[in-house]
């Protein structure tokens, strides 16, 4: 697996530090209302981020998973989101925090936000680990961002290529030959 990585873009140490900071921002943001949350991770890319983040969030919460699959085995052309399954838990009347790995074209998050709003939540906020600012649209509200990254295809820390590399602990860029 290591041999397929061209270089590390963000080390696991930097990720851990930033995830803790994001958790502090989220706690501070919700502090006054002190609500119960429903966290909605978008599967599968956000699972590692979710697992690390929630252990730094001393907030009473439920999880409701949503599943979206995009870009099957591809690194560049954004395909239409393939499937979008209803959240596995309660959304109605709840303060929802949507969690995703990366905001690229914004198509995925736009669709999930629309689906959540249709289920009558009390509020919807969004946290992403990565954002590609060169492409991210302005009409998709994202309140919490871990890192802004260049428009490169990255893997690791939950992010995949053809469902591989999710267990790579850093965020890295694949060697060209791997995707050629
Ligand atoms: P969007 O809908 O914003 O264009 O893309 C979001 C989804 O595409 C992400 O949840 C992720 O699954 C995939 N994606 C976008 N950019 C990358 C990338 O650089 N690396 C990986 N592994 N997936 C990406
Ligand atoms: Mg994804």
Question: pLDDT, tens digit, for every residue of 146-171?
Answer: 999 999 999 999 999 999 999 999 99
**Residue 100 CB–ligand 1 contact under 6 Å:** yes
pTM to 2 decimal places:
0.93
Per the model's pLDDT, the better-predicted residue between 121 and 83 turns out to be: 121
Q: Which of 52, 100, 101, 104 is catalytic?
A: 104
Q: Is the dihedral of CA 148, 151, 152, 154 positive or negative?
A: positive
Instruction: Please tell me the distance between residue 41's alpha carbon and the centre of ligand 1 in angstroms.
Output: 14
Residue whose CA is at the smallest distance from ligand 1 atom 4? 105
Measured from the alpha carbon of residue 168, the closest ligand is: 1
Pocket test for ligand 1, best of 49, 108, 142, 151 (most atoms within 8 A of CB): 108
- With cut-offs at 50, 70 and 90, classify the pLDDT of residue 128: very high
Instruction: Please tell me the distance between residue 122's alpha carbon and the centre of ligand 1 in angstroms.
Output: 27
Q: Is the pLDDT of residue 15 over 90?
A: yes
Contacts from 76-85 at CB under 8 Å and sequence distance 24+?
76/153, 78/104, 78/105, 78/107, 80/107, 81/107, 81/108, 81/111, 84/111, 84/112, 84/115
- With cut-offs at 50, 70 and 90, classify the pLDDT of residue 82: low
Mean pLDDT of 111-116: 95
């Amino acid at each position: 697996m290591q041999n397929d990585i061209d270089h590390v873009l963000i080390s696991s140490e930097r990720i851990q530090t930033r995830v803790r900071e994001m958790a502090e921002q989220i706690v501070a943001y919700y502090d006054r209302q002190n609500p119960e949350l429903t966290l909605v991770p978008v599967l599968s890319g956000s699972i590692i981020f979710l697992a690390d983040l929630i252990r730094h969030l001393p907030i009473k919460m439920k999880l409701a998973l949503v599943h979206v699959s995009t870009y099957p085995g591809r690194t560049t052309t954004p395909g239409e989101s393939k499937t979008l399954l209803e959240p596995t838990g309660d959304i109605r009347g709840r303060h929802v925090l949507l969690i995703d790995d990366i905001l690229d074209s914004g198509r995925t998050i736009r669709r999930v936000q629309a689906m959540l709003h249709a289920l009558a939540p009390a509020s919807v906020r969004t946290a992403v680990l990565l954002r590609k600012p060169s492409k991210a649209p302005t009409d998709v509200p994202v309140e919490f961002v871990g890192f802004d990254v260049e428009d490169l295809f990255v893997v690791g820390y939950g992010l995949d290529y053809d469902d591989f590399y999710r267990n790579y602990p850093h965020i890295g860029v694949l060697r060209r030959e791997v995707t050629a």
